[in-house]
Amino acid sequence: MSVSTAAAARTVCAPLPVLGRDVTVPLVTGGEVTYAALDYAASAPALQRVWDDVAAYAPYYGSVHRGAGYLSQLSTDLFENARRTVAEFLDCRPDDQLVFTRSTTDSLNLLARALPAGCQVFVFETEHHASLLPWQDARVTYLNAPRTPRQAVETLERALADRDPHGPALVCVTGASNVTGELWPVRELAAAAHAHGARIVLDAAQLAPHHPVSVQELDVDWIAFSGHKLYAPFGSGVLAGRADWLVAADPYLAGGGASRKVTRREDGGVDVEWHESAARHEAGSPNVIGAYSIASACKALTEAGFDSLVAREEYLIAKVRAGLAEVPQVKVLSLFGDDAPRVGVISFVVEGWNSSHFAAALSAEYGIGVRDGLFCAHPLVRTLLGSDPRNQGECGAPEAAPGEKSLNAIRVSFGAGTPDEHVERFVNAVRELVSEGAQWQYRTEDGRCVPAV
């Protein structure tokens, strides 16, 4: 990014207002400081706009698709309008279905339940567990970690060329890594999949909050993401895409809302006619507040303008990477190299430090929240750290006491609500910890590194 572009990113696009931006936290060394939330890749703070929209609707909350009363009708309209807003945000095809789920994990497990018989699934070992693990009941081919985007496409093409050309196949791929932040060549992978008669689902959990996502331009068959990473809490997610596999599958959950007609048989059993719309996989009382919060976040990001949001995030990425590069003891993890485009997710290790110890010191002494561990992407992190990817580890928790050799990393992540001061404080804190050491003593408690009392 040029100096002029960086300046424009700072002045033209201010951080979007988020909840918690004024929260103060105590430091073990004394006093308090405004909390620097730099763990957006786990859960992004709620946009103020989302919170305000939900608060305005809350008094009118009612049952969805089930009541004749005014509040029920209003809630039903709100829910279905949210579906249309999110579909527009994703640039879905006219005949696509959009199902509201609980999360990316829930969305991909739903799709896994809808796979046609004999479907073969292709997935890179670099995926988050949400997209790596749901396919256990299918024929799964796990692909080795590529070291360039081109190698990713070539690896997939070779694997697809060897498959049974007559059976159904699905490729699952991330849009942006939750470990390195690097963007994957989704459009090229989709083209490779379709050229070999396969379909493709995009895990956009880390992509959608940072970049515009178009189902049609990327030519993916399905897309999945979570509200809580898109600045929208309340436990909702999305699966959007081709309707045929979803309509042909048994409902993900059996119950009210998914059924159109239920009748008793003479033999004492019941016959069920299921909906063929998205309701087929939305049994139970829909999470209308969760769906509405996602739609509100989609509107807020669209109105803010992704060009400005991306420019400002690139400025923050450059600031963090430049600061880390000045500390020789820091090693940033990457699959595709320093020049690869990425979102605001950066993982690293520090020579001589257990990652949990370092993350604990950032929190306790500087008021900075980051993540340490294997980030629910064990094979990828172990590959990046040069370990056997078959080794087991506990997600998100250190594997040794502070100061001992341990296989985990530190992840800093940020987005549309991050002010300059937070990343500047983070970079300065890294420098100080490496050069001067921690000011406090730490111990291991329940598998985590915490300040000693």
What's the chain look like in SS3? CCHHHHHHHHHHCCCCCECCCCCEEECCCCCEEECEECECCCCCCCEHHHHHHHHHHHHHCCCCCCCCCHHHHHHHHHHHHHHHHHHHHCCCCCCCEEEEECCHHHHHHHHHHCCCCCCEEEEECCCCHHHHCCCCCCEEEEECCCCCHHHHHHHHHHHHHCCCCCCCEEEEEECECCCCCEECCHHHHHHHHHHCCCEEEEECCCCCCCCCCCHHHHCCCEEEEEHHHCCCCCCCEEEEECCHHHHHCCCCCCCCCCEEEEEECCCCCEEEEECCCHHHHCCCCCCHHHHHHHHHHHHHHHHHCHHHHHHHHHHHHHHHHHHHHCCCCEEECCCCCCCCCECCEEEEEECCCCHHHHHHHHHHHHCEECEEECCCCHHHHHHHCCCCCCCCCCCCCCCCCCCCCCCCEEEEECCCCCCHHHHHHHHHHHHHHHHHCCCCCEEEECCEEEECC
Indicate the residue type of 187. Answer: R
Nearest alpha-carbon partner for 247 in 60, 56, 99: 99
Distance CA 226, CA 125 (A): 21
Q: How far apart are the first and last CA of the chain?
A: 45
Q: Half-sphere exposure (CA, 13 Å, Cβ side) for 443?
A: 4
Distance CA 65, CA 286 (A): 9
Tokens of 212: 């515009």
CB 103, CB 315: distance < 8 Å: no
Nearest alpha-carbon partner for 111 in 249, 216, 230: 249
**Close Cβ partners of 185 (under 8 Å, ≥ 6 residues apart):** 149, 150, 152, 153
| Residues labelled as active-site residues | 376
